[in-house]
Amino acid sequence: SSLNSRTRVKTLAYDTIVANARFFDNDITKVPNLALTVGVATVMDAREVCIIITGAHKALALAKCIEEGVNHMWTVSAIQLHPRGMIVCDEDATLELHVKTVNYFKSIEKVHEQLIGSDNVGLQGGVRSWRGGAESTYHQ
């Protein structure tokens, strides 16, 4: 997909229709032939982007996303260009990363936890504190 792509209607590939049949009583005649897809440029227009990557089967995608440059073959890599992009992953998803990369991000996480705690940063980058049951948000 092009890095300049926008949200648009796409014709589904036959393999996708077969895979989606499980949601339609395993009847491929009930599966729509068209789908709405959100383009990379549309995602990049968002104020914030959070990508969640879990499992060993997504490890290569995570490695391509953060250890290589932005590439149209791995559109997830465009997150590198977003000013408020965040990637959340589990340990299994890091299996294809270089050890230095994993150690680097773990060190950032450790410093973050020491400074403001592990549960206190919202997606908007604000620091949340709870006082008397009321939530206050402080923006950086």
d(CA 30, CA 27) in angstroms, rounded, equals 6
Neighbours of 77 (CB within 10 A): 20
In angstroms, the CA 30 to CA 77 distance is 34
- Mean pLDDT value across residues 97-109: 92
Q: What is the pLDDT of residue 14?
A: 97
Residues near 49 by Cβ (< 8 Å), separated by ≥ 6? 43, 79, 82, 84, 85, 86
d(CA 39, CA 33): 18
Residue 99's pLDDT is what? 96
Q: Which amino acid is at 31?
A: V
Per-domain residue ranges of the chain: 1-45, 46-133
Q: What is the pLDDT of residue 116?
A: 81
Mean pLDDT of 31-42: 96
pTM: 0.73
Residues 15-44 have a mean pLDDT of 97
Residue 125 has pLDDT above 70, yes or no: no
DSSP for 86-123, written as a single string: EEEE-GGGGTTS-HHHHHHHHHHHHHHHHHH-TT-B-T
Which helix (H) or strand (E) segment holds residue 9: the answer is strand 8-11
Q: Which tens digits make up the pLDDT trace of 44-81? A: 999 999 999 999 999 999 999 999 999 999 999 999 99
